Amino acid sequence: MSATIFPHSPLIIDVAGLSLSAVDKKRLKHPLVGGVILFARNWQGREQLGALCRQIKAVRQDLLILVDHEGGRVQRFKTDGFTHLPPMRVLGQMWMRPDEGLPGANALAASNAATACGYVLGAELRACGVDMSFAPVLDLDYGSSGVIGDRAFERDPRIVAALAKSLMHGLLQAGMANCGKHFPGHGFVKADSHVDIPVDRRSLKAILADDAVPYEWLNTVLSSVMPAHVIYPKVDARPAGFSEKWLQYILRGRLGFGGAIFSDDLSMAGARLIDGREVSYTEAAVAALNAGCDLVLLCNQSLDGGAAVDELIAGMSQAQLKGQWEPMEASEDRRLALLPSKPSPAWDDLMLEPAYMHAVGLVP
């Protein structure tokens, strides 16, 4: 099929192993596929990761290569020279440490360390061929969410926004885009949307005054946003990632965000129930795109043959032909804007760069 039929490549899929199979390559050539998300199973070492990324780009240069690589317990690549980055809570604790000298000195030191973390995170991934990490987490640390926990910077949205902006500055220095998650906030609910359907019963006013505030304060620097698989019933009966009200009217309209919107993983429990009905991956993808997502993720489904991935690609092709969703040129432009802004140095050259060496020394 010609590219003019599919001007929008919204599907982000995974691959099973350390290199691409013939089946992987066939899937990645499909014009509906816009990127690949990598996991720890795709990692053996830097040379292997670099070779895998080159294989992906050889299929299509425009494919995004993505990973969840935040630091702390969510860091896919931890050996063979990769810097062990701290959980983001460590930066929040630095900010809150009592000052022994000038007032605010520790807050500024924490901000500087956040920039260093962002630069090291981005530069090391880019040196191996990865385009973008899904970071930073903008959820507030209420102390009750196990799945968020120390992935959050702090409870105070002002501190979260300031540290996130500093970390994004570091990513930008490395030529990498960013992704704020999980809009409008996953930190308040205890349930884990990977295995459950969390419900946050607060009012829109309460959420906008607290959890969602960083998205407005950062609307000039956020490259992309990932909504939460959480239901906020006082706003909409659908999870945020499937809600036109949350994505179009609140995130884009009220909070002024203009970048790309990724769905969270469609295989998570929080994505499988929409309007009280269990849905297929294709139905979930169509619902997310029609609500305002530009890109949708289906993770960990390439194993055991990847039938679910093939079903999604075929299902989305049929959904388009039936007029159930309409490709958007603006969405494709947003996807392409996430590709790295500059070439990356080779790993050995990066290790000798003064800016990188300085930043590594500042990582807590």
User: So which residues are the catalytic ones?
Assistant: 194, 264
Residue 104's CB is within 10 A of a number of other CB atoms, namely: 11
Pair 148, 204: CB distance under 8 Å: no
Q: Which amino acid is at 128?
A: C
Q: How far is the C-alpha of 97 from the C-alpha of 66, rounded, in Å? A: 34
Query: Tokens 């040196």 label which residue?
Result: 127
Residue 191 CB neighbour total at 10 angstroms: 18
Amino acid at 100: E
136 CB burial (10 A radius; 0-12, 13-18, 19+) = buried
Residue 295 dihedral angles phi and psi, to the nearest 5°: -140, 145
What span, in angstroms and rounded, lies between the C-alpha atoms of 22 and 43? 19
Q: In this structure, are residues 85 and 121 in contact, taking their beta carbons and an 8 Å threshold?
A: yes
Do 302 and 264 contact (CB within 8 A), yes or no? no
Are the CB atoms for 120 and 360 separated by under 8 Å? Answer: yes
Give the dihedral sign, CA 271/164/153/141: negative
DSSP state letters, 197-247: --B----HHHHHTTTTHHHHHTTTT--EEEE-S-B-TTT-SSBGGG-HIII
**Three-state SS at 12:** strand
Do 67 and 134 form a contact (C-beta atoms < 8 A)?
Answer: yes
